Amino acid sequence: MAAHPRARYQYIDNFLNKPGPTTDPDFVPGAPTIASLEASKVLVIGAGGLGCEILKNLAMSGFRDIHVIDMDTIDVSNLNRQFLFRKDDVGKSKAEVAAATVTSRCKDVKITPFNGKIQDKDEDFYMQFKLIICGLDSIEARRWINATLVSMVDMENPESLKPLVDGGTEGFKGQARVILPTLTSCIECQLDMHAPRPAVPLCTLATIPRQPEHCIEWAKIIAWEEQRKDTVLDTDDPEHITWLYEKSLNRAKEFSIPGVTYQLTQGVVKNIIPAIASTNAIIAAACCNEAFKIATSCNPYLTNYMMYTGDDSIYTYTFEHEQKPDCPVCGNLAKTITVNPRHTLQEFIESLGERPEAQLKKPTLRTESTSLYFQSPPSLEEQTRPNLSKKLSELISDGEEIGVSDPAFTIDFKFKLVFQS
| SS3 (DSSP) at 184 | coil
For residues 360-385, give the mean pLDDT: 86
Q: What is the pLDDT of residues 253-298, one digit of tens each?
A: 999 999 999 888 988 887 766 678 899 999 999 999 999 999 998 8
The shares of helix, strand and coil residues in the chain, as percent rounded to the nearest 5, are 40, 20, 40
User: Which of 177-181, 197-201, 383-387: highest mean pLDDT?
Assistant: 177-181
CA dist., res. 189 & res. 387, Å (int): 31
Residue 244 CB contacts under 8 Å (≥ 6 apart), including other chains: 216, 219, 220, 223, 224, 265, 269
Q: What is the pLDDT of residues 196-248, one digit of tens each?
A: 666 666 667 778 888 899 999 999 989 998 999 888 888 878 899 999 999 99
Whether residue 377 has a cis bond before it, omega within 30° of 0:
yes
Whether 406 shows a pLDDT value over 50: the answer reads: yes
Residue 21 CB contacts under 8 Å (≥ 6 apart), including other chains: none
Whether 355 shows a pLDDT value over 80: the answer reads: no
Give backbone dihedrals phi and psi of 119, rounded to 5 degrees, phi first.
-70, -15
- 319: exposed, middle or buried (C-beta count within 10 Å: 0-12, 13-18, 19+)? exposed
Residues 216 and 264 sit within 8 Å (Cβ to Cβ): yes
Residue 3 CB contacts under 8 Å (≥ 6 apart), including other chains: none
CA dist., res. 132 & res. 145, Å (int): 10
Residue 203 among the catalytic residues? yes
Q: What is the pLDDT of residues 64-107, one digit of tens each?
A: 999 999 998 888 878 888 999 999 999 999 999 999 999 999 98
Q: What is the pLDDT of residues 100-137, one digit of tens each?
A: 999 999 988 999 999 999 999 999 999 999 999 999 88
- Total Cβ atoms within 10 A of residue 9: 18
For residues 333-346, give the mean pLDDT: 87
Q: What is the pLDDT of residues 145-172, one digit of tens each?
A: 998 999 898 888 989 999 999 999 988 9
For residues 372-392, give the mean pLDDT: 88
pLDDT of residue 360: 80
pLDDT of residue 1: 47
Residue 399 CB contacts under 8 Å (≥ 6 apart), including other chains: 416, 417, 418, 419
Select from 47, 15, 91, 1 the least CA-distant residue to 297: 15
Tell me the H-state helices in 114-179: 123-127, 139-152
- Total Cβ atoms within 10 A of residue 382: 10
pLDDT band for 420, please (50, 70, 90 cuts): confident
pLDDT of residue 201: 64
Q: Which DSSP symbol is given to 401? A: E
Residues 68 and 51 sit within 8 Å (Cβ to Cβ): yes
Classify strands 164-170 and 131-134 as parallel, antiparallel or unpaired: parallel
pLDDT of residue 110: 95
Whether 368 shows a pLDDT value over 80: the answer reads: yes
pLDDT of residue 332: 76
Residue 390 CB contacts under 8 Å (≥ 6 apart), including other chains: 344, 345
Provide the percentage of residues in the chain whose pLDDT is more than 70: 95
For residues 327-337, give the mean pLDDT: 82
pLDDT of residue 202: 67
* Catalytic residue, candidates 203, 287, 298, 330: 203
Select from 158, 90, 162, 98 the least CA-distant residue to 126: 162
Count of residues in the chain: 421
Q: Which of 17-26, 30-39, 79-88, 264-273 is predicted with the least confidence, judged by mean pLDDT?
A: 264-273
pLDDT of residue 198: 60
Alpha-carbon distances, residue 159 vs 125, 163, 296, 378 (angstroms): 14, 10, 16, 42
pLDDT of residue 268: 86
Provide the percentage of residues in the chain whose pLDDT is more than 90: 45
- Single-letter amino acid, residue 121: K
Whether 2 shows a pLDDT value over 60: the answer reads: no
| SS3 (DSSP) at 389 | helix
- Across the chain, mean pLDDT equals 88
- Single-letter amino acid, residue 221: I
- Single-letter amino acid, residue 362: K
CA dist., res. 138 & res. 119, Å (int): 13
Alpha-carbon distances, residue 243 vs 237, 273, 325, 384 (angstroms): 10, 21, 48, 38
